[in-house]
Structure formats: structure tokens, C-alpha cells
């Protein structure tokens, strides 16, 4: 498999949000604005790349029966590391994303890539796979956040373009998350995935 | 998956993994401890600077949950933390009160209000600016619906009431501080 394809696979063919429907909990909950979606995506990307690399490196020496606990410990370590870093250097973002940062530990994308890819491939390939899937997740969340932000608060990336703050509230709240996700999924599968 | 799943192997691998991971995290904690504390301190300082006039020093009173801000020898005011229950959960404010009992400004520390409705308590200019220079001895501290002088946020009376109650609590704390400190 070419290196380029490893990355584009995660972005399009195996897009975690629109095709695999993994990691729905942070997807629906944190995409109230484009910036929030982007940050959540980048946080997941960070954990995904590092855990993919670490797991592919240790996979040959991990006995089958304890592989899940070992992977979870590794993933949890990276998530905690990320928490420390965010608390120290981006405290505002840490507060916005709140609970969803520690919840990356149980994000099925991360464990899913470890199980489906990293434990069968080399460190380099696993890193690329992590980047691909992570970018796929980041892009999806940013687009979803952007659509919800435009409809719900009349702004894009925090830049307000309708004046005042009279957006369609429903899109900032949970029902809007489901609606937007559903329509984006339809569009994605019709136009992007087919080619 | 070359390694056999016998007891020794499993204990060894899981144990080693945990050991290495905790060592890494321990190291990371030591390295990030100071920046995290600095970020938290900066956040409090910024919050206090928002609700009080210029000051040079603050001291925190753990028991009463308020900061005393001084500029040299003179007392600038108190920044009082209060928490009430809003529409979506706890609503925490920091309220700046100058020594004469007038509110200098208020600011939201954390909230869980509905985006676009109650959450406007952090963005609505009209709602926020009315607290600047609010003197509870002249104006009545209650939302207009309840016969007071506080303009509520449209469609967010519960949040506005919670906000007002938090300010009221802050003023009670202020009265306690004053009652305890000077015997006039």
C-alpha cells in the first residue's frame, strides 16, 4: 500500500465519521462551533498517531489474552499526557472540551485502529494510518462544526456575519447535531465516496 | 502475536506496560505542574482584573471564598466567588465589590446554560453592563418580572434570576466581611 493511499483512505474511504460512524459521542457533542470541532479532532489525532505508533511497536511482545488491557493502558497514558499539555498551554480550550478529552480513552476510533491496523503493521505505516484517520476525523468534525455554527449562531470560526446573535438555536443543540450529521453523511456518500 | 498467553508472560507484559506508562506520566506531571498552576493563577487574576479597578496585590480567603484586592496600602475592593443553580446546572460568578458596597463589575466563571439563551449571560452587552456600578441600596436587586430593577435576558428568566441571586449572595458575603472587619 502506498503511503499516500494510507492517508487518503482515512480521509475518504474509511472516514471515521461519515463512513465508519465511529466516535459519534464526541462528534455530536463537541461540534457546536467550527473551532471546537477542529480542536476535538486535533486532540484525537494526537492520541491516535502516538497510540498507533506505540501499539504497533509493542504488539509482537503482547500476549493475546491481555492485549486489550495493554492497549487501553497505552491509550490512557497518551490521553492523560494530552490533558496535562492542554491544561498547561490551552486552558480555555481544555475547559470547552471538558469531559470529552478524557473520554478519548474509550473512543472506538482509537482502539479500533489499534485492533484493526496498528497491531498488524509497522510503526511507520501505523503512524501514517493514524494521521489519515485522525485527519479524516478532524475534517469531518470541523465541517460539521462549521455548518452548525453558520446555521445556529450565524458565524464562522467565531466571525459573526449576520450581526446580533440570532441564529437558529436548534442547530447549536443536540437535535441540530443529528440533523446536520445525517445530511452531511448523505452528501458525503453521494458525492465523495462514489468517486 | 508471537508471545504465548501463559500467566508469566501476561503478568510480565501488563506489569511492565503499566510501570512504563506511570513513569512517563509521573515525569510529564512534574514537567507540566508549574505551567498548569501558572495558567490557573493567570485565569483567576484575569477574572479579578475584570471585576475590580486596578490593584497590585490580592489575597485569597479560603473560608469566605473571596479575594481582597489592595493597591499598596489602600483597599481596592473584594472579588467574591458565588455559585447558584441556573437553568442547566451550577452558575459560578465572581463579583467585584468596592469598599463602599457598590458593585464594580461581575463576570461568569463557569456555567452550563443553554447556548443561545441562558449562555448569553456571558455575551449580552445590555445584561452585563447593568451590573457596572449597581448600587443595591438604591436599586432593588431582583429581575423586573419579580418587581426589581434587573433587566433579564430575553427568554432566560431562570438564568437571570440565578445570576441575580448570585450577586445577592456576594453582597451578603460583603456585608459579613465588613461586619467582621470594622466595628463602626
Asked whether residue A189 is assigned to any structural domain, the reply reads no
Whether B116 and A165 lie within 8 Å, measured CB to CB: yes
pLDDT at A195: 57
pLDDT at B48: 85
Q: What is the 3-state secondary structure (H, E, C) of A124-179?
A: HHHHHHHHHHHHHHHHHHHHHHHHHHHHHHCEECCEECCCCCCCCHHHCCHHHHHH
Contact status, residue B87 vs residue B108, Cβ threshold 8 Å: no
What average pLDDT does chain A have?
87
Q: Is A66 on the interface with B (CB under 8 A)?
A: yes
Asked whether residue A125 is assigned to any structural domain, the reply reads yes
* Prediction pTM value: 0.78
pLDDT at A164: 62
Confidence band, pLDDT 50/70/90 cuts, at residue B157: confident
Domain containing residue A130: 3-143
Q: Is the pLDDT of residue A183 over 90?
A: yes
pLDDT at A8: 84
Whether B24 and A61 lie within 8 Å, measured CB to CB: no
Asked whether residue A188 is assigned to any structural domain, the reply reads no
Cα of first residue to Cα of last residue in chain B, in angstroms, is 80
Asked whether residue A119 is assigned to any structural domain, the reply reads yes
- Residue B109: its chain A contacts at CB < 8 A? none
Q: Pairing relation of β-strands B90-97 and A155-156?
A: unpaired
- Residue B154: its chain A contacts at CB < 8 A? none
Distance CA B121, CA B39 (A): 24
pLDDT at B30: 93
Asked whether residue A83 is assigned to any structural domain, the reply reads yes
Instruction: Give the DSSP letter of residue B142.
Output: S
Asked whether residue A154 is assigned to any structural domain, the reply reads no
**Average pLDDT for residues B2-30, to the nearest whole number?**
89
Asked whether residue A138 is assigned to any structural domain, the reply reads yes
Distance CA A46, CA A42 (A): 6
Q: Is the pLDDT of residue A51 over 90?
A: yes
CA A122 to chain centre: 22
ipTM for this model: 0.76
CA A102 to chain centre: 13
- Residue A88: its chain B contacts at CB < 8 A? 32, 35-36, 39
pLDDT at B182: 45
CA dist B165 to A185, B10, B12, B105, Å?
Answer: 45, 58, 58, 15
pLDDT digits (tens, 9 = 90+) for A134-165: 999 999 999 999 999 888 878 888 777 776 65
- Domain count of the fold of chain A: 1
Distance between A65 CA and the closest CA of chain B, angstroms: 6
Asked whether residue A111 is assigned to any structural domain, the reply reads yes
Strands, E assignment, chain B: 57-61, 66-71, 74-85, 90-97, 103-110
Cα angle for residues B49, B50, B52 (degrees, 5° grid): 65
Residue with cell 511507520: A124
Q: Is A95 on the interface with B (CB under 8 A)?
A: yes
Amino acid at each position: 500500500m502506498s503511503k499516500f493511499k494510507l492517508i487518503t483512505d482515512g480521509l475518504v474511504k474509511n472516514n471515521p465519521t461519515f463512513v465508519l460512524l465511529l466516535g459519534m459521542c464526541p462528534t455530536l457533542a463537541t461540534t457546536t462551533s467550527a473551532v471546537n470541532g477542529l480542536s476535538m479532532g486535533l486532540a484525537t489525532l494526537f492520541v491516535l498517531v502516538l497510540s498507533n505508533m506505540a501499539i504497533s511497536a509493542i504488539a509482537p511482545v503482547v500476549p493475546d489474552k491481555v492485549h486489550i488491557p495493554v492497549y487501553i493502558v497505552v491509550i490512557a497514558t497518551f490521553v492523560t499526557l494530552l490533558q496535562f499539555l492542554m491544561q498547561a498551554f490551552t486552558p480555555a480550550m481544555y475547559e470547552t472540551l471538558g469531559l470529552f478529552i478524557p473520554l478519548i480513552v474509550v473512543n472506538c476510533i482509537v482502539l479500533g485502529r489499534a485492533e484493526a491496523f496498528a497491531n498488524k503493521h509497522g510503526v511507520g505505516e501505523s503512524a501514517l494510518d493514524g494521521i489519515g484517520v485522525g485527519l479524516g476525523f478532524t475534517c469531518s468534525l470541523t465541517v460539521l462544526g462549521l455548518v452548525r455554527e453558520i446555521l445556529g449562531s450565524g458565524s464562522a470560526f467565531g466571525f459573526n456575519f449576520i450581526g446580533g446573535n440570532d441564529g437558529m438555536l436548534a442547530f447549536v443543540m443536540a437535535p441540530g447535531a443529528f440533523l446536520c450529521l445525517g445530511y452531511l453523511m448523505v452528501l458525503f456518500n453521494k458525492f465523495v465516496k462514489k468517486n | 502475536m508471537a508471545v504465548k498467553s501463559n500467566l508469566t508472560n501476561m503478568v510480565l507484559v501488563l506489569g511492565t506496560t503499566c510501570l512504563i506508562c506511570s513513569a512517563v506520566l509521573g515525569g510529564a506531571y512534574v514537567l507540566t505542574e508549574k505551567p498548569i498552576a501558572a495558567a490557573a493563577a493567570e485565569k483567576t487574576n484575569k477574572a479579578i482584573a475584570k471585576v475590580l479597578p486596578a490593584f497590585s496585590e490580592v489575597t485569597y480567603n479560603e473560608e469566605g471564598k473571596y479575594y481582597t484586592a489592595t493597591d499598596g496600602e489602600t483597599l481596592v475592593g473584594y472579588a467574591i466567588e458565588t455559585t447558584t443553580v441556573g437553568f442547566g446546572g451550577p452558575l459560578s460568578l465572581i463579583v467585584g465589590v468596592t469598599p463602599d458596597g457598590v458593585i464594580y463589575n461581575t463576570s461568569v466563571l463557569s456555567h452550563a446554560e443553554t447556548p443561545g439563551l441562558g449562555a448569553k449571560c456571558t455575551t449580552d452587552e445590555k445584561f452585563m453592563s447593568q451590573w457596572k456600578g449597581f448600587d443595591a441600596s438604591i436599586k432593588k436587586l431582583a429581575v423586573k418580572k419579580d418587581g426589581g430593577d434587573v433587566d433579564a435576558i430575553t427568554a432566560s428568566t431562570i438564568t437571570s434570576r440565578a445570576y441575580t441571586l448570585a450577586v445577592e449572595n456576594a453582597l451578603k458575603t460583603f456585608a459579613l466581611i465588613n461586619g467582621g472587619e470594622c466595628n463602626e
